[in-house]
Amino acid sequence: MQEAWWRGAAIYQVYLRSFADGNGDGLGDLAGLRGRLDYLSKLGIDAIWLNPWYPSPMSDGGYDVADYRSIEPIFGTLAEAEKLIQEAHERDIKIIIDVVPNHSSDQSAWFQEALAAGPGSPMRERFWFRSGHREGPPNDWQSIFGGPAWTQVPDGEWYLHLFAPEQPDFNWNSPAVREEFLDVLRFWLDRGVDGVRIDSAAVLIKDPDAEPDGLDPYTDRDGVHEIYREWRRVSDTYPGRFLIGEVWLPDQERFARYLRPDELHTAFNFDFLSCPWDPAALRRVIDDTLATHVPIGAPPTWVLSNHDVTRPVTRYGRPDTSFDHGDRKHGMTSDRELGVRRARAAALLAMALPGGVYVYQGEELGLPEVEDIPDALLQDPIWARSGHTDRGRDGCRVPLPWSGDAPPYGYGGEPWLPQPADWGPLTVEAQEADPSSMLNLYRTALRIRRESLGDGTLTWLPLGEEVLAFTRDSGLTCVVNLGREPVRLPEHQRIRLASDEVDGDLLPADTAVWLV
């Protein structure tokens, strides 16, 4: 039997608002994406994961969904989404959508109906409405974006929101909520989507009555698994489709529960994404990841960046190369040259490991985090909710540079977040012309990966504590030097690909090679 396509897929994440603007309003859209499908085809990816594309007031970049069965008008129409699916399929590119089950927008019909219906109404059972406690909120839970996790409505009740107040949490004890999402899944699977990314997948179950105080919102609760078993039963009726969970959990044993054979197919590997550029730490994460996935037959995923985290070339150039949501290290000095060098090596490492790999738009261009967006233009709710102490995630969401030497760099209208003046050399156009560019490194790596990497197993080679080296089933060997001194390469016939120049048999620091 042929292996399921998603097990070893290279999946490109499109943050639609910032990808390409087809109608000149400064906001990326479906027309812009459809116009760039050939770019993605040439890049050599297997699938596109799109962040939420539904009607939304955009209080949290579309993760505040007002209608799960339609398309946000600034992005386009349902008919255009269907055309996108078809045009992507014509190029052998699959489409993965983002479903947000933990919360909706406060502008959704359900939440508006619940508000209008008043206390005691069954409509309120779909969310977490509670009476206050001594004039204040029902308990002391805090929102992940900062501030209290409860907001009071005019009739006196409070509702729960783990994220922004514009994102009321669903009550998953409600059968109506469960039915609704099964129907939403079918709606999109019927339209031909190939996969579903599940937002905040671990936090659906909570019980403010049982847990009056204290909350780690990212602590999962056992009841969540029954939900995904139901989802899996639905997705299994559509052959070839898959579910991927956004599961941030430090406990590997609990993480693995999501990947049991009757639950999700895969989940994002955030330990890899958060890991510092350190050989022992990376080796530990890789080994732990394989130990978690292999026994249950789930393919690991390798993720270096996404729309929530600091861009790799900035992160890897800092004195502290780890990523942590609690401390984004905004403004910490970063050595750009070093960061780029390591990001190139990290890409070859991630793409050589067994399983699937995710590439966040702009990663293939080596875009840095934009750290000087003027305060007044910041849009991420984290900025306001943190009392202006955390600048949030806008720095990795700046619209892509396509061509030319000044903003908007062929992106479309005036970008909704300003692009830096020095991005001329980073445009697709400029990088296509430069054989040693990040873009050409990604293109070549993805092509080789498609032929001889993907899912399977690896065998470690002992090349010293500062080096990560392993051979894949196809015979291709990946060697990454994370030390300060050059290291001698193991015996090989030739170098298929190198992240930077190699000096004969000596692999310089912060460099990776693929050998045959």
Site of interaction with ligand NOJ (CB under 6 A):
60, 63, 100, 163, 199-200, 246, 307-308
Q: How far apart are CA 423 and CA 406, in angstroms?
A: 7
C-beta of 303 vs 489, nearer to ligand NOJ: 303
Tokens at 181, concatenated = 């999402």
Q: Which of 29, 199, 380, 510 is catalytic?
A: 199
Measure the CA–CA gap between 145 and 453, rounded to whole angstroms: 39
Cβ at position 129, least distance to ligand NOJ in Å: 20
CA end-to-end distance (rounded Å), the chain: 28
| CB environment 276-308: b (16+ within 10 A), e (fewer) | bbebebbbebbeebbebbeeeebbbbbbbbbbb
Residue among 47 and 382 whose Cβ is closer to ligand NOJ: 382
Tell me the closest approach of the beta carbon of residue 50 to ligand NOJ, in angstroms: 12
Helix ranges (DSSP H) in 298-359 = 312-315, 336-352
Kindly calculate the radius of gyration of the chain based on its CA atoms and give it in whole angstroms: 23
Closer residue to ligand NOJ in complex, CB, 133/325 = 325
Q: Which is nearer to ligand NOJ, 241 or 397 (CB)?
A: 397
Nearer to ligand NOJ, 13 or 235 (CB): 13
Nearest approach in angstroms of CB 415 to ligand NOJ is 19
The dihedrals phi and psi of 12, each to the nearest 5 degrees, come to -100, 125
Could you give the strand order of the β-sheet that contains 10-14, starting from the edge strand earlier in sequence? 266-267, 242-245, 195-198, 94-99, 47-50, 10-14, 356-360, 301-303
- Residue 86 CB, nearest approach to ligand NOJ (Å): 27
**How many CB atoms are closer than 10 A to CB 489?**
20
Shortest reach from residue 110's CB to ligand NOJ, in Å:
17
Does 199 participate in catalysis according to the annotation? yes
Specify whether the backbone of 192 is left (phi greater than 0), alpha (psi in -120 to 50) or beta: left
Q: Which is nearer to ligand NOJ, 63 or 442 (CB)?
A: 63
- The first and second tokens of residue 343, run together, are 């990001």
Q: How far is the CB of 171 from ligand NOJ (least distance, A)?
A: 17
Q: Please give the structure tokens belonging to residue 260.
A: 């049991």
Q: Which residues, including other chains, have CB under 8 Å from residue 80's CB and lie 6 or more apart?
A: 30, 31, 34, 71
> Among residues 106 and 199, whose Cβ is nearest to ligand NOJ?
199
Task: In whole angstroms, give the CA distance from residue 468 to residue 442.
Answer: 20
Residue among 60 and 220 whose Cβ is closer to ligand NOJ? 60
- Give all strands (DSSP E) within 224-341, no chain letters: 242-245, 266-267, 301-303
Q: Considering the complex, state which of residue 199 and residue 394 has its C-beta at the smaller distance from ligand NOJ.
A: 199
Residue 406 three-state SS:
coil
In whole angstroms, how close is the CB of 392 to ligand NOJ at the nearest point? 10
Residue nearest to ligand NOJ (CB): 63
> Measuring CA to CA, which residue among 427, 249, 435, 437 is closest to residue 343?
437
Closest approach of Cβ 136 to ligand NOJ, in Å? 25
Give the dihedral sign, CA 329/419/167/31: negative
User: How far is residue 224's CA from residue 199's CA, in Å, rounded to a whole number?
Assistant: 13
Tokens of 205: 């179950």
Residue tagged active-site, from 246, 363, 364, 390? 246
Three-state helix/strand/coil letters over 141-190: CECCCCCECEEECCCCCEEECCCCCCCCEECCCCHHHHHHHHHHHHHHHH
Burial grade of 70 (CB within 10 A; 0-12, 13-18, 19 or more):
middle
As measured in angstroms, the least distance from the Cβ of 205 to ligand NOJ is 16
Q: Which residues are catalytic?
A: 199, 246
